[in-house]
Chains A and B, each alone.
Chain A
Amino acid sequence: MATRTIGSGQVGRSVPRLEGAAKVTGRADYVHNIRLPKMLVGKIFRSTVAHGRIKSLNVSAAKALPGVYRVVTIDDIKTVIPNPFYGPAFHDQPILADGKVHFVGEPVAVVLATDPHIAEEAASLIEVDYEELPAVFDEVEAMTSKAVVHDELKPAGTFPDLKHLKGKKDTNIALDFHLRRGDPNKAFAAADHVFEHTFRSQQVLHVPLEPFVSAAELTETGLTIHTASQSPSFVRIEISRLLGWPENKVRVKVPYLGGGFGAKLYIKLEALVAALTLLVRRPVKISLTMEEQFYTLTKHAATFRIKSAVKNGKITGRDCEVWWNGGAYADIGPRITQKSGFTAPGPYDIDNVSIDSYSLYTNLTPAGALRGFGIPQLVWAYESHTDMMARALRLDPIEFRRNNILRDGRAQATGTQMKDAAVEQVLDRLALRMNWTAPFERGTGPVKKGRGIAVGFKASISPTTSIAIVNVAADGSVTLYCSTVDMGQGSDTANAQFVAEVLNVPAESVKVVHPDTDVTPYDMATLGSRSLYHMGNAVRLAAEDAKAKLSALAREVGVPEGSNVPVAELFQKKYKMQAGNIIGTGSYIPNYVPPDANGLTPEATPFWMVGGTGAEVEVDTETGHVRVTKMISVADVGRPVNPRIVETQLSGAATMQFGFTMQEKIELDGGQITNASFADYKIPSIVDIPRDMQNEAVESEQGTGPFGAKGVGESGTFGVSPAIANAIEDACGVRLTELPLTAEKVYRALREAQGRPLED
């Protein structure tokens, strides 16, 4: 990817990652390495039933095992946290099961010991007697099922659109979002063609290679939590709320993360370790195993029914119904349902739109954000649907899209005008890189070749806040304090580049202080590709503030405007020795207007992300095996701040979604996960991914972004699934509507198409 620098030459340069050397030499800090004096470790005992009332819980054998320090249940937790329910949207999740369990794997009790093996052994000695209750696992069934996951809904009160759900009973709907624009019924009545399809995305997992881990310790002034979290500020606020303490008594420290991908947001183990530490007055650490990740957070399975009216090759109406499988606790699901839900019609210019998006409780592991915040599930449906329509209408899929694409200045479904969203350029570059207009070799014998494209978009979640502090020391060296979590995406490096650009120093010389809520200021969270834009703006403002103060200092000490006197000399002149600081601060919150009763708003989002994928495949029609030979990711990331990191973010996101497209699926048997290990849950390895992977950021600028930049972490995921499914149909004429696209599914579809379905 080409280097395009500006001004000081810091933004637009492929600065090597600031933490690169520390990581490859094993010196980087992770919570897993933390050993605190007199620390106990906790092992969680988990539910074996999907929905049940706890009739009795017998921990006596566990307690009696030599080496066990204590066995803790919810009754103990309540002595330190009387109302032990947490969550960002609903206060629905108990720190340990409280009378009922709602999914297989739900934490029921914790064994504390100094030896993790003893804790594990003791946990296996705990006995529970459940009265099993009817359970529901499917998101569409959950709409009407007699099995109800929660007795009563408990919205957190932070989001106005959830208030009407307070105290509701006999429902699994944790949010119903509705949008109406124009007159879809009229459009359908007047259409030349009406198409309707239903698509399903499966439940998958984040699998960061560092599983969840948190430790807590009491200090003289309160409580310190060391945690692998993407949202230190949220953890501090939520733990403060649970304890009834002021924020400044809770300190949350986050070093590097071994991956996050949306899993390590909000509260995961933090409330549990906090409560345990308060109970036993000793430091407590809990480190989950790989297997336990399957019982902590997943990506939403989703069903999407999409219906379109087409007249003269234009899409004139679209009706979207989306059901999100939220699992047993809401986590951030209701936000996904709305904030991503409103993009369900896709990046198309459609006057008449109706969206109904439902967040549903089921008796599965809770679902939350996963690299795309629901967008990949939506793009999977609308871009498969778009291709199916083009095929049925005998139109070239790229031309059909071009005829309908949402261009800058036109209103998206919410009524918000598109701005700085390079949908068309992404499509154009994809077509060019795919050599779309040239003849395509179809293959001979049983192996058939095909190609497909897809393009999706995402609105940045809004409104969210970031604060940053830039500190210039008396020798001129610069330190940045911010709570953005570097979980492998390179945020330290990018933020250092912003500071460096403003203050005209090398990015490599800027020190970035990691999140520590006693030290670094508030940030909403590192999620949804928001940080580069929101924190980037805050960092830029903080650096500009510092720069203005440096200029003022120069004037104060009599240095003329525009001179090149070193910063250290300015301090020397003022303080008569190497002393003092300049502190620059910046805060950023974008404009936002909440949606009206029809789901419409003129300001839905501060920026749009656009990502497209082109895929070439080979299908073995005798076995159904699909080999993706080429995968091209093209995205609008605004101005690439660090071209090399942009490239790895695009390819990393595409690779991850490739796994969700071709291989990964949580297998369930009556709510029990049957493949909770890497032996049976197959993430892609180097031999699975396409040999030819290309990545491109189109020429673009985000006008409101820091130096024209915007987020890039998720855009590579958007188009992958539909592009591959579209290529499979192009190769062998069969259409799959349910992920993942396994060989058996392709084979069965081929047999179906031959009129001789495979009989079990």
Chain B
Amino acid sequence: MTPFELAEPKTLKEAVALLDADDPTIRPIAGGTALMLMMKAGVFRPSKLVSLSAIKDMSSIETVNGELKVGATTPLAVLERSDVVRKHAGVIIKTLRTLSNIRVRNVATVGGALAHADPHMDLPPVLIALGARVVVQGKSGERAIPVADLFAGYFETVLVKDELISSLIVPAQNGRRAAYLKCTTRAVHDWPALGVAVSVAADGNAIKDASIVVSAATEKPGRLVGAEKAAQGTVDDAGWRRAGEAAAEEAELITDGQGSAAYKKELVRVYVARALRAALGAQ
């Protein structure tokens, strides 16, 4: 690791001002759980890091107009223990329990977990399924981006290099039920080989509307619209399996150290059906 400058701005505006859209060696750092590994491995050599940890008022969790609002520098472990989050969308808590380990969750932040854009992350698919959006601060002001539109590709977001995520907003779920299933293939605790998040509006076991998101096995997390259509109106295991079939046909899967695309396709088939079953609480 070579020397670099560390800036510790006190406000979000100052932080944004310290960034440079054209200089990839200047990056914001929050928990640093991913960035520090990249620096140790020598794949990222910063000239300047802009620490977000001294910024006040960016780590609150509250409900505003029925929506859950989470500050971007909220540590994942704080989110995990929040009653407000539990009441709003319990699936987030359950997901966090499977996310890495407590040492990482104690320092990794909500904003970082999104901005890093590693497809092998657990929160993004869940937040997409819940219809969440991020509020982003740039030099010219604020904009909101649905999490579903945040990811541009493998380790890439639509954020400009001088934009910062300031908060995450999860809309009211209005009785929708959600589940996230993480499938690992190399060890129990591992990056997911496949993540499947679903959120359903249902009457008993009859699905009226489903949001189905896959991640990790794909270049970026994303909804499977065909599978969502196939899930609509299903009431039982046979129907959920049909949704799984549709998902397997639709998802664009990649081969990597965690498995071949052909195998992951089979995992998608099985896990989408299982996730729908889990969301509905059916046996």
Contact = CB atoms under 8 A, between A and B. Distances in A.
A684 interface: yes
Interface residues of B, number: 22
A680 interface: yes
Contacts of A744: 185, 259-260, 263
A748 interface: yes
A219 B266 CA distance: 65
A682 B261 contact: no
A685 B263 contact: no
Contacts of A663: 186-187
Contact of B187 (A622, A684, A760): A684
Interface string A296-333: 00000000000000000000000000000000000000
Contact of A623 (B1, B42, B270): B270
A758 interface: yes
B183 interface: yes
A224 B266 CA distance: 59
A170 interface: no
B207 to A, nearest CB: 21
A699 B191 CA distance: 44
Contact of B189 (A675, A677, A685): A685
A242 to B, nearest CB: 33
Interface in A474-505: none
B257 A674 contact: yes
A680 B260 contact: no
A127 interface: no
B267 interface: yes
Interface string B20-36: 00000000000000000
Nearest to B273: A622
Contact of A688 (B187, B257, B266, B270): B187
A680 B186 CA distance: 8
A743 B204 CA distance: 34
B188 interface: yes
A121 interface: yes
A704 B157 CA distance: 69
Given A124-B42, A623-B270, A748 B263 contact: yes
Contacts of B209: none
Nearest to A757: B262
Main secondary structure of the interface of A (DSSP, over half): loop
A667 B189 contact: no
B188 A688 contact: yes
Contacts of B186: 663, 680, 682, 742
Interface in A182-235: none
Contacts of B262: 758-760
A683 B190 CA distance: 11
Nearest to A659: B187
A747 B187 contact: no
B2 interface: yes
Q: Which of B187, B259, B266, B267 has most chain A Cβ within 10 Å? A: B187
Interface string B156-199: 00000000000000000000000000010111111100000000
A117 B2 CA distance: 7
Nearest to B186: A682
A687 interface: yes
Contacts of A682: 186-187, 190
A550 B29 CA distance: 69
Given A663-B187, A682-B190, A623 B261 contact: no
Interface in B32-52: 37, 41-42
A607 to B, nearest CB: 36
A682 B193 CA distance: 13
B24 to A, nearest CB: 19
B281 to A, nearest CB: 18
A742 B185 contact: yes
A747 B263 contact: yes
Contacts of B189: 685, 687-688
Contacts of A121: 2
Contact of B257 (A622, A680, A747, A748): A680
Nearest to B265: A758
Contacts of B260: 744, 760
Nearest to B40: A289
A623 B183 contact: yes
15 contacts: A623-B266, A663-B186, A663-B187, A679-B37, A680-B186, A684-B187, A685-B187, A685-B189, A743-B185, A743-B259, A744-B260, A747-B266, A748-B263, A758-B263, A760-B262
Given A120-B1, A680-B257, A682-B186, 8 more contacts: A117-B2, A121-B2, A682-B187, A742-B186, A743-B185, A744-B259, A744-B263, A747-B266
The 8 closest A-B pairs by CB, nearest first: A682-B187, A687-B188, A682-B186, A744-B263, A760-B262, A622-B270, A688-B188, A744-B259
